[in-house]
Chain A
């Protein structure tokens, strides 16, 4: 009877709020430094105290010796919730082949909280991410969303900013020249400005014609007013400068994305105060726009004072978006300080995308953190406990269910084999 009652307390959702977790003697890695051998008490989803010794009892006590706590991981460029199987178009909602929809395209409206990608990623420590549209018929790809991967996955911000593609791909769909793409982008921004000043007459049909639809101009309005950022994907050093200049010209709030040749113009990026979303693992000249790609790009940008947000690893930035920590680890292996690298997957995105958590481990904050079996930058380290927005994540995924189903049959095969011998 006592056992039943205990399991009710531990596993019943009704008692979830009364839960307290004490992690003893653990290391904390965060943007502000590394704290060793402290204890963390989490009560009702809030970080109650962080101290060298805590005497309070808790419903769950964990020996954290040799383990590390970080804030929950953030990936700065994913399609989570807007794709299930890449090659099956009916499951893909993060781009559109309808050329008449640009800035008004909102993948957040397609966000599927039941996607199997979400439990897979959150059990490995990914807690929040950016859901980014991709350009298909126009370089203005649509609106970027902030999502959360908790037990009840949700969109935190359905329109953080507008994504624009000025890579070779974006250029190829805008007349095939960098100059044509920039010309079209200027037209769109000018139109959005004009529209915001003359909306009434425009909607009444008494104003000039525009290149984009009214819905798209509506969506661009906060951008030209400097209220929301543009997130521009761009790689070549000279193209990065073109975009920085364009943002200056139109007084836009700019976030750069991609930026494989960022190190070549690191000072100008730093001076522009734009933060950068990048994958630090990319170092191949697979396109003429990033012949300068190198593994210490992140570390060079950091040295110049550029605020970094990581994505990756490689093209696994959606189905295995949690692998952003592998990219972050490789940034450390190539000269980036550990604290700067953890900042790029926790506190920097928390600050820039205005999360409810600091992305550091702080008393009084809602717990949004991961307990790692060791150094989170090591790939022999696993996420042991994940808390998202104060709630402990169930460590279940489709992948783990498949594993367990077949493990049994392999075990009995091995037992039969050894009996046979």
Chain B
């Protein structure tokens, strides 16, 4: 036994002394680190073209198209129109049904906080340092989380999986297609921009304040972010200078790679989208000033319970506000809830989005926008269902940088489609069929269409419908 250990040590020593590793003085080419070391392996499945006939379409960009046909080919929306020639296409009856784009939840912790919610599964908050920009949510995602398929049954086709809010800068989020897969790479939305989770307010200062370290206050929060951005600017500068020229240089002069700084640098570069958990109006404005101080853009504020208080500012700055319909009171920064938050933010012209942050509500995001719309209409804002659906589709896509691909029923967009068995704003309505890239992944009448999570074997019988 000891012999083996000795042998391993010896071979390691030999490698170290005489190995073919480059020497510090060797000249090397200047290359940026690989920005996609965990590439998506998701493939669009081939499918026969099909047509949903004579249906009501809420297109996600504000229109209701009645008695309309929808042609899907090669995973894309090919044609939209009244009385399209049916040719030899497989036809899907759309009358008495409604069609919407696949729903997008831009704030989910499925996979990183999977079910069962036991401590061994608690992988969403790397609370060992207030700034952990180096961690990537995708490395925590358990693709076998049985909650994913429940969200699919609710029409959710795209998810932004974020780290939790225990840290000032919690790490990278990942955009997933809600498809069954053994690996997270098989779910990753190809070429979707990365995102960075940041968090204001009570959570980080509570977590680290309890450990008697920075941040224990809101001013400590601000100092924590700013220190990180100052370092990130320097880091970015050293890499920019290194990559600016073509000449070969000694290995010793290559900047040292730092994963934490690399992610922040990606934000300063404009490559990574900032999704900033922030409840209070005043703190959001502090965050906006800070983003200008360091020259980055905030894609969206999340939770944004006080969004309505600064809705005109959000509109002017072009920052999306990601909100719940009615959550409140679980902490002080969530005390000033108004049910009209989404409607008022939208009314001010800002990009309003609804999110779940919850594996129960992700199954019924259509009901959540129904409540938000109804609250707005009660105060006379006259919001149509076609308009309200943007909060769950095209606006959400925009915050992810995917507005060219998903979030609407428009020609050329990905065929992420939900066929509802009634008005999507009704409590009684359910998703009847859900397609992602033209592949049928959910059918309310065919529980065996896609396989249930491995976890469910032995719990749900084959072919059993378990709503």
Contact = CB atoms under 8 A, between A and B. Distances in A.
Interface of A: 83-88, 117, 281-288, 291-292, 294-296, 314, 316, 318-320, 323, 326, 329-330, 332-334, 377-382, 399-400, 402-403, 406-407, 409-410, 413-414, 417
A407 B344 contact: yes
Interface in B270-308: 308
A86 B330 contact: yes
Given A85-B331, A88-B331, A291-B459, 6 more contacts: A83-B329, A84-B329, A320-B327, A333-B430, A382-B378, A414-B349
B28 to A, nearest CB: 51
Given A84-B329, A294-B467, A319-B329, A407 B379 contact: yes
Secondary structure of the B contact surface, majority rule: loop
A295 B467 CA distance: 5
Contact of A314 (B308, B328, B358, B455): B358
Nearest to B455: A285
B374 A323 contact: no
Nearest to A414: B348
Nearest to B310: A406
B234 interface: no
B208 to A, nearest CB: 16
A316 B410 CA distance: 37
B139 interface: no
A10 B311 CA distance: 37
Nearest to B380: A407
A380 B370 contact: yes
Nearest to B427: A329
B425 A380 contact: yes
B467 A410 contact: no
B236 interface: no
B331 A379 contact: no
B116 A381 contact: no
B115 A285 contact: yes
A117 B118 CA distance: 31
List of 4 A-B pairs having minimum Cβ-Cβ separation, nearest first: A319-B329, A329-B427, A87-B331, A295-B467
Interface stretch (B180-188, B225-233, B239-247, B360-368): B360-368
B373 interface: yes
Nearest to A333: B428
A86 to B, nearest CB: 4
18 contacts: A83-B329, A87-B331, A283-B150, A284-B115, A286-B117, A288-B118, A295-B467, A318-B329, A323-B326, A326-B367, A326-B427, A333-B428, A378-B426, A379-B367, A399-B338, A403-B344, A406-B309, A414-B349
A396 to B, nearest CB: 13
B338 A88 contact: no
Most chain B beta carbons < 10 A, residue from A281, A319, A377: A319
Interface in B328-370: 328-332, 335-340, 344, 347-349, 358-361, 363-364, 367, 370
Given A332-B427, A413-B348, A381 B374 contact: yes
Contact of B459 (A285, A326, A333): A285
Contacts of B426: 378, 380
A377 B360 contact: no
A240 B308 CA distance: 46
A379 B374 contact: yes
Interface size bucket, B side?
A: 35 or more
A377 B425 CA distance: 12
Given A284-B360, A329-B427, A379-B367, A410 B331 contact: no
A414 B346 CA distance: 11
Contacts of A292: 459
B311 A410 contact: yes
A302 B374 CA distance: 31
B308 A410 contact: yes
A85 B335 contact: yes
A388 B455 CA distance: 47
Contacts of B348: 410, 413-414
B263 interface: no
Contacts of A407: 340, 344, 379
B73 interface: no
A402 B116 contact: no
Contacts of B377: 380
B147 interface: yes
B312 interface: yes
Given A320-B328, A399-B337, A410-B347, A283 B467 contact: yes
Contact of B338 (A83, A314, A402): A402
B266 interface: no
Given A85-B332, A333-B430, A399-B337, A414 B147 contact: no
B146 interface: yes
B466 A294 contact: yes
B202 interface: yes
B272 to A, nearest CB: 30
A316 B427 contact: no
B332 A410 contact: no
A285 B146 contact: yes
Contacts of A330: 364, 367, 427
B328 to A, nearest CB: 5
A215 to B, nearest CB: 32
A316 B327 contact: yes
Nearest to B458: A291
Nearest to B388: A380
B387 interface: no
Contacts of A329: 427-428
Nearest to A379: B370
A246 to B, nearest CB: 26
Contact of A382 (B150, B331, B337, B374): B374
B371 interface: yes
Interface in B389-440: 425-430
A292 B456 CA distance: 10
B327 A403 contact: no
Nearest to A289: B116
A319 B330 contact: yes
B327 to A, nearest CB: 7
B147 A284 contact: yes
Contact of A287 (B116, B327, B358, B375): B116
Contacts of B363: 283
Contacts of B374: 379-382
Contacts of A406: 308-309, 311, 338, 344
B309 A377 contact: no
Interface string B145-159: 011001000000000
Given A316-B326, A403-B379, A284 B150 contact: yes
Contacts of A399: 328, 337-339
Interface in B233-259: none
B215 to A, nearest CB: 17
Given A378-B427, A379-B371, A314 B361 contact: yes
A86 B329 contact: yes
Contacts of B349: 414, 417
B316 to A, nearest CB: 9
